[in-house]
Structure 1
Amino acid sequence: MRRTGTVFLLLLILFLPISASADTGPKPSVRIAFTGGEGLTFYGTLLSRYDSTGPASAWNGQEEYASYHPGEEGYEVWRKFVDYKDADGFYFLQEWWDCSENQALNWIYYPPSTFKILLYFPDSDTFCISPVYEKYAFDSYFTADLSQWESGTLSAVRSYDYAGEILALAARIVLTIALELLVAFCFGYRGKRVFALLAVVNVVTQVFLNVFLNVVHYRSGPWDFTFCYVFLELIVFLLEAWIYAERLPRMDGTRRIRAVGYAFVANLLSFVAGLALAFWLPTLF
């Protein structure tokens, strides 16, 4: 048991630099899908409450800090956004997108946490501005309706796929529990009382583990998810190993080391399967 604990601690240490790394891995995003804008030419940006976020910042008026210069493609649109004066003093951070073709605005690298959606329509030389919104998840999804864009205002609603997330979470829990019970069968465990114990313990630990990890991924993204996954899997293994070592020998007369070995193999396989599912079926996370 001491060896298995050491193995998991080493895995935990290996994952620590990943969590603390300054600029690796996925970054938070704000993704806005537009409806009712088919056939329109328009550009979009997010105005920020603050004058910088990550590498993006408002122009200070000095030529060397401008993202575009006269004569460059995109300069005219950039200049329109620069000259726009927001009533609440929100800043244009020199990041903008042509939203006409895919009807979307995806700020995938350090988007502002508090923002307004600003759209520019060159054919009519007009702007359309939204109220203030907040980033609510690691990947925050919104849908904005452009059917009334000529009024100069637009509104957006959160459009995160919570239903799909819940279904995927349930599928992950069922798959991991089934895997651990299959491992128990391979270890020679039989009988209703034994499988009742294994089922109860696995349901409790897997529901807690997966619900917590889902919340972590929703709030903080895949790197924190991975770090917490390693740490919590270690805790679950130690807890299950203790329960099985205490209870299973009394039920079927097997040795304690066998119960600990089962806990180790079952949790190792469910951990590997969980990472595989994260790669093959990302909607599960």
Structure 2
Amino acid sequence: MRKTMLLVAVMLVAMTVPFFTVSADIGPKSGITIDIRGVDQPYFLDLLFPGEIDEFWRDYAETRLEECLDDFGYCSDFIPWLLLDFEEDGYVSSWLYRGRPTYHRQLDDHVYAYTYVPPREFKIIMVFEDGTYVTSPVVVTRLFQTRLVYDLTDVDLATDFTAAGTVTELVPVAGMTTDFLLRVILTIGIEILILFAFGYRLKSSYRLVILTNVVTQVTLTIFMFVMHWWYAPFFGEIFVLIIGEIFILAIELYVYIKWLKEQSKRRASVYAVVANLASFLIGLILIIVSFGLVF
């Protein structure tokens, strides 16, 4: 049994080595999409992050502001000079003073996307052409890919406002539920089909396999689900999948050899190995498909 587990573990790792030998910067990046509502005048959008205005970077920031009208149209209407020295409760412009690039891309009217690891704690600031501004309450995002609605419908934008409006994080409950159920049902379904192909027919055999998989595969799917939506899609999911399937193989070898008695112990152990390799491949395919569709 130990040799079998070692062989399978080596195979699982070997199948995923190509995914980990690429550049570390190739994986998905966390992002934020902001939908602005209740504003009908030109504005410049930025995120304020916890930081300070460093004099060393201030000259660079000033140059960036001077050139922003020509910088691929990033400042499309006016130059937001207010941001150069703007500080509010320890929050400063992420566009000007954050270490990594923090640019937004306009997706639609009043819809903007920050696609390269934006700050997870920030305030939204909107600077208007007449020099007034509005800032949001502090936002702390939860999801790896976050969609926010910033509603300023009831705010008087003629004067400066801080902590104004409401910011709502939209949680894709329907998408999460579908993702979770698809992973679980496909994985368990494949293992049941393989059980049938191995010649098992007794109801007791199917009850044992279904019960075992409900416990093992649901647990694994929960960890992969958390990686996908909150922490590290793709590479994090693959890591969890490899480690999880190795543990599941150990559990299922023990359970099936001891209690799957319709056929020989050798057949039960071979079934466990084949079924887990199949569930691993299904999991890997779902990760790749999800990566391609979402990112």
Relative to the length of structure 1, the TM-score reads: 0.82
Query: Given the alignment of the two structures, is residue 179 of structure 1 paired with residue 190 of structure 2, yes or no?
Result: yes
How much has 1:10 moved relative to structure 2?
5.3
1:1-285 equivalences under 5 Å are 1=1, 2-9=3-10, 11-12=12-13, 15=17, 18=20, 22-37=24-39, 40-51=41-52, 60-63=57-60, 66-70=63-67, 72-73=69-70, 74=74, 76-83=78-85, 85-93=86-94, 94=96, 95-97=102-104, 99=106, 101-122=108-129, 124-151=130-157, 152=161, 153-222=164-233, 223-248=235-260, 251-252=261-262, 254-281=263-290
Change (3 A) 1:97 1:41: farther
Higher relative contact order by CA 8 Å / sep ≥ 6: 1 or 2?
1
Encode CA deviations 1:100-127: one digit per residue, 9 max, x unaligned. 84422322212112100111233x4432
Asked if 1 retains the 8 angstrom alpha-carbon contact of 2:69 and 2:79, the reply is no
Equivalent residues of 1:143, 1:158 under 8 A apart: yes
Distance 1:51 1:26 in 2: 28
The change in CA–CA distance for 1:220 and 1:59 in structure 2 (over 3 A counts) is: farther
Question: Secondary structure, in 3 states, of the residue corresponding to 1:109?
Answer: coil
- Per the TM alignment, residue 168 of structure 1 is displaced from its structure 2 partner at its CA by 2.3
Distance 1:21 1:170 in 2: 32
The amino acid that maps onto 1:126 is: T
- Show CA shifts across 1:228-268 (max 9, x none): 111111111221122111212xx32x222211221121111
Q: 1:100 to 1:172 in 2, by over 3 A?
A: closer
- Cα distance in 2 between the residues matched to 1:180 and 1:58: 62
**Alpha-carbon separation, structure 2, partners of 1:67 and 1:230:** 45
Q: Aligned to 2:200, what secondary structure does the other structure show? A: coil
For the residues of structure 1 that align with 2:21 and 2:165, how far apart are their CA atoms? 38
Structure 1 pair 269–98 and aligned structure 2 pair: CA distance change class (3 A): closer
Secondary structure of 1:157's partner? strand
Contact 1:41 1:100 in 2 (8 A): no
2:58 is paired with a residue whose SS is coil
Structure 2 CA distance, aligned partners of 1:88 and 1:202?
51
Contact 2:104–2:115 at 8 Å: present in 1 too? no
| CA RMSD between the two structures | 3.2
Amino acid at match of 2:198: F
Letter aligned with residue 240 of structure 1: E
**TM-score normalised to structure 2 length:** 0.80
User: Are the counterparts in 2 of residues 119 and 127 from structure 1 also a CA contact under 8 Å?
Assistant: yes
Unaligned runs of 5+ in 1: none
User: Against the structure 1 CA distance between its residues 208 and 279, is the aligned structure 2 distance closer, same or farther, given a 3 Å change threshold?
Assistant: same
Cα distance, 1:77 vs. partner?
2.8
Mapped to 1, the partners of 2:68 and 2:242 lie a distance apart of: 52
Deviation of the 1:277 alpha carbon? 2.4
Residue 267 of structure 1: SS of its match in structure 2?
A: helix
Cα pair distance change 1:58/1:31, threshold 3 Å: farther
| Distance in 2 of aligned mates of 1:279 and 1:60 | 40
Cα 1:119/1:140, change in 2 over 3 Å = same
